[in-house]
Amino acid sequence: MYKRIDGKEVSSYIKNQVKIEVEKLAEQGVEVSLAVIIVGNNPASRVYVNNKKKACEATGIISHEYALSEETSEAELLNLINKLNSDEKINGILCQLPLPEHIDEKKVIEAISPMKDVDCFHAVNVGKLWLGEYEFAACTPMGVMLLLDYYGIDVEGKNCVIIGRSNIVGKPMASLLLEKSATVTVCHSRTQNLSFFTKNADIVIAAVGKAKFVTADMIKEGAVVIDVGINRDENGKLCGDVDFENVKEKASYITPVPGGCGPMTIAVLMKNTLAAAKNQNNI
C-alpha cells in the first residue's frame, strides 16, 4: 500500500519554522525582506509571484514587488538589480522567469549578488552547491530533499534515478543526492533504454516536463516516486510527469500533483531568504 507524500503538510511545517526564526530576528531588530521582480504579464508568472507574496505574509518576511512592463529594457532591469544589491534592507532578490525575449536571462541571473541570490541560480552559488559549501540550495531540489527527510526516507546507498538534466532541477538534484551518499543516475532525452534505469531505481525523481511520462511498467515494486513536473493533461487538468493513478499501485511513497513538490519550492525560498538575512547580519 503506497503512502502519499503531502507537500502541503511539510511546507506548512517549514514555513512555521521560518516564521519562528523571523520573529526571533525581529526581537533583535533584524527584519527579513525579499524583493521579487516580475517583467511583463505572463499569467503563470503572476500566479507564482502572488503565491510567493502569500508565503512571505505567512512567515513574517517583508515582500517588495517590482512589477515592470513588458517593454522594460535590459539596461533598466539590470539597473534595478544593482540598486537592490546595494540596498541593505533587501536580503533576497528573485527575478521571476521567463523574461521577455529581448532580455538576456543569463545576464540578469549573473547580475544578482550571490549573497542575495535566494533562487541559487548564480554561477557562484551553483559552484558552492557542488562543493557542498552552500548557504542556500536550489529551491525545488532542496524541497525534494526535505520531503524525503520528513518521511524518513534515507537516500544513503540508494539507487536514485533523475529524469531531466535542467539547471533548475536535474543537475542540482544530483548534487544534493550525492552529498547524502546516494548512487545517482541522471537520465535525459538522449538516454537509451530509459526503463532499464528506472526499473532498477529505489527512488525515481521525474523532472522532464511531459504529462504522465512515467508509467507503471517503468517502476519497480516499492520504489519511491517523486514527481516534480507540472503539466496539463488532455482535459486541461493539472498533472505531473508521472501517471499517478497507475504508478501509485507499485510505489511505496509517491508525491501527487498538485500538492507534492510545488508547495515545497516556495517554502524553501522562504528558508533561503531567512538564511541570506542571517548571513548578511553575521548571525
Catalogue the active-site residues.
Answer: 52, 96, 119
Spell out the long-range contacts of 69-76 with Cβ–Cβ below 8 A and sequence spacing 24 or more: 69/39, 69/40, 70/39, 70/40, 70/41, 70/100, 72/39, 72/100, 72/103, 73/102, 73/103, 74/102, 74/103, 74/104, 74/107, 74/108
For the chain, how many residues are written?
Answer: 283
> Beta-carbon neighbour count of residue 51 at 10 Å?
15
Give CA–CA dist 14/192, Å, rounded: 39
Going by C-alpha positions, the residue among 69, 59, 7 that lies closest to residue 34 is: 59
> From CA 207, how far away is CA 198, in angstroms rounded?
13
**3-state class (DSSP) for residue 232:** strand
Q: H or E stretch including 23?
A: helix 7-27
What does residue 100 show for φ and ψ, rounded to 5 degrees?
-55, 155
Can the peptide bond before residue 43 be classed as cis, meaning omega within 30 degrees of 0?
no
